[in-house]
Structure 1
Amino acid sequence: MRSKTIVVALGYAEFSIRFSNAISQYTDVDAILYNDNYQAESADLITKNENVSIHLVSKSRKTELLILVMKLLLSNRYKLVHVEETTSKLVLPIYFMAKLSARLYVRVHDPEPHSGTDERLNPFVRLTMGIGRRLSTHLLANGEYCAAKLRDRYRRDVIATQHGEILIPTNSQLSSPEARTFLFFGRIEKYKGLEVALDAIDILERANIPCRLIVAGRGSELTRLGPRLQTHPFVKLIPGYLSYTELVSLIQKTSCVLMPYLDATQSGVLAAAFAGGRPVIASDVGGISELVRHNENGLLVAPNDAKALAEQMKLFLSSQAISEKLAVGARKAAANELSWKTITAKISRLYL
């Protein structure tokens, strides 16, 4: 008889649907997601596996979520509960309910807070994260760097897999990139290094090396750096939340994605760039170099070094052969390390 798994994902809707589809070859899945996350990330556009049932709940109806989890667990059909760790406090009672009657798996996306606003996490949220990590039967992490951090802190086994492809373009969405165009996108907080990217663009401008940087997303750094973003001749700003289809289209329009992070653990931006066949120029921090292989599928630079970033951007712009080689490498990484088939094969035993 096939096992049955509850996947609780109060964030990361697209990621969680793709993960649920992937593990459904081993287990039947009931995935519980917030309706607004599901709609915002256009998860309805992802083809659902027949072995996956989707339950959408409202953020404003907190008891609805807890009652749903309780009903599923009391049916005695579910022996596995997989929780995608988020900053939601509601996962705390779910951890305890799951632990009473099931094996609890928790995937940790970031083992430690990023610099900037993340460092000011609510103490109760930090406590909730720690309890879930300690109660779990198995901890999962996106990448070996994250896994090592968790092993060191909690002195227990942690299973490492890669992030998995997101924002995957359909054949009809594939297109050739606009020449000499870089993209910086996502959640724009201090640790993402937007100021370093702008300093690098300034260096290229002074050297009369034309290019364009598209900055898309939302976050506190847009307020701080707003004047520079709005007046720079090489920069196009697209502020606010972008839909799934808008992001897929934007990645296709650009030649390369910039990731000049000051610190990092793993990166959904990287997974999306490679899924779209776009190489990256990234800081060699955290677990980034597990996937970004210098001069194969991207270019690596030291963190917080605008001059080094500008040099690698200049190199990328100088040769079509280099940019095409890196793009081929990005597509290969997406098809191999980042493919959901590869990822779930490593953890299939957990869901049998």
Structure 2
Amino acid sequence: MIKVALLHFGFEDYTIELANSLVKYVDLTLIHPEKISDVCSKVLDSNIRVVSFKKPRIRDPRNLLSMGTMMHIIKNIQPDVLHVQETNDPWYDWTLLLNKMPPLVTTIHDIFRHPGDNSTAFGSEYTRRIGFYRSQQLIVHTNQLKKILIEQFRISQERVNVLPHGELGSLYQRRSSQNIQAREPCTLLFFGRILPYKGLKYLLEAMPLIAECIPEVKLIIAGKGENIRQYFPNGYDEKRYKIINDFIPLEEVGNLFKRSTATVLPYIEASQSGVAALSYGMGTLVVASEVGGLSEIVQHKKDGLLVPPRDVSALANAIICLLKDRNLQQGMQTAALARSQQDLNWSNIAGQTVEVYQKTIKMRH
């Protein structure tokens, strides 16, 4: 059985569900900073060994000690493969450059920083490339990202594997507080960090057009980020909009998706989308911009609707069409839930990941 160390500093939902399925195939140890232990603790398979270490904030020089501890943990495990979820952490990147590492697989969720996203560490845009070049194999979620790695970073295509981002609905159903709400027929959801590239302004411009045809339409905006007030300089109608401009507790996220008919992703840029992955597993329909990786994730008119980015009237028309047509909703919901059992199913993704591990081990021998 292959011995695998799975290291992550973030992307917790993805890592939890991957680990829960991987443990059926490999001898697995999960390594992460102490501060994310709570998020993972109640939803991880009990067969997974978990090792955590203290990790200070990025600007703290004690990260040198922290990285020493991390390397000590990896050396003790002596894994056949070290699988790292992209870190955005320069300390890790320099550690990778200066140490002999086990055969290395890195999953890259985003190659470039999203426009307007200032949360990544200073310098990480450059140092994270070390991870691209030091890894024997890379995993991305869309063909678009594979193309960028091959063309812009000169990485050979044999080293880049496209594996889908699995559904996250079942994880949030396990976390959910008990009182699951009924689906509301005209409620839309905009969920996640509120940043310019998410295109919220286009959805808000579309809302009056939607309301003309569907007066009872309602929009929930849930997530942290920019000051939401800038979108509503004259205040807003509380019957039409519910705004939760805050961190949403994990056990309440599922309810937001369960009560909404559709999640709207009016993004102007996208590499992949955990929000779409969560929607599919919840049976919540998706209306998204045909941009970046979203155009590969959402299958137009099968399990979601795609519209041109920044096109307010096309967005409004797609949402009106969806909310008015119950048969279309049911057909798309059935297709989305079916995909959650097929290409977005974690057991299938874990099997494909093990094949990447086998390839990695062969490359090193």
Contact 2:181/2:259, CA 8 A, preserved across alignment: yes
Tell me which amino acid in the other structure corresponds to 1:91.
Y
* Residue matched to 1:9: 8
Q: Which one is further off, 205-214 or 48-57?
A: 48-57
Tell me by how many angstroms 1:233 deviates.
Answer: 4.4
Give aligned pairs, total.
347
* Residue matched to 2:41: 44
Q: TM-score, normalised by structure 1?
A: 0.90
> Relative to total residues, which structure has the larger strand share, 1 or 2?
1
Tell me by how many angstroms 1:55 deviates.
Answer: 2.4
Q: Using a 3 Å threshold, how does the CA distance of structure 1 residues 243 and 264 change in structure 2: closer, same or farther? A: same
Distance 1:55 1:240 in 2: 28
Q: Could you tell me the percent identity over the aligned residues?
A: 25
* Residue matched to 2:362: none
Cα-to-partner distance string for 1:232-276 (whole Å, 9 max, x where unaligned): 641110111112211111111111100111111110110011111
1:293 maps onto 2:296 in alignment: no
Q: Which one is further off, 332-341 or 162-171?
A: 162-171
Tell me by how many angstroms 1:58 deviates.
Answer: 4.4
Tell me which amino acid in the other structure corresponds to 2:249.
S
* Residue matched to 2:123: 124
* Residue matched to 1:102: 102
1:159 to 138, 158, 161: 161
Tell me which amino acid in the other structure corresponds to 1:43.
C
Tell me by how many angstroms 1:221 deviates.
Answer: 5.5
* Residue matched to 1:346: 352
The SS at the match of 2:337 is helix
Distance 2:201 2:46 in 1: 42
Tell me which amino acid in the other structure corresponds to 2:4.
T
* Residue matched to 1:249: 255
Q: TM-score, normalised by structure 2?
A: 0.87
The SS at the match of 2:233 is helix
* Residue matched to 1:146: 145
Distance 1:10 1:122 in 2: 13
* Residue matched to 1:111: 111
The SS at the match of 1:75 is helix
Mark the runs of 5 or more structure 2 residues left unpaired by the alignment: 359-365
Alignment of 1:172-183 (within 5 A): 176-183=182-189
Contact 1:33/1:56, CA 8 A, preserved across alignment: yes
Tell me by how many angstroms 1:324 deviates.
Answer: 1.5
Compute the RMSD of aligned alpha carbons: 2.4
1:202 maps onto 2:208 in alignment: yes
Q: Using a 3 Å threshold, how does the CA distance of structure 1 residues 76 and 332 change in structure 2: closer, same or farther? A: closer
Cα-to-partner distance string for 1:190-223 (whole Å, 9 max, x where unaligned): 1111001101102123446320000000112625
Tell me which amino acid in the other structure corresponds to 2:164.
Q
Tell me which amino acid in the other structure corresponds to 1:288.
L
Tell me by how many angstroms 1:24 deviates.
Answer: 2.1
The SS at the match of 2:90 is coil
Tell me which amino acid in the other structure corresponds to 1:110.
D
Distance 2:53 2:130 in 1: 25
Tell me which amino acid in the other structure corresponds to 2:104.
L
Q: Which one is further off, 12-21 or 166-175?
A: 166-175
Distance 1:193 1:76 in 2: 44
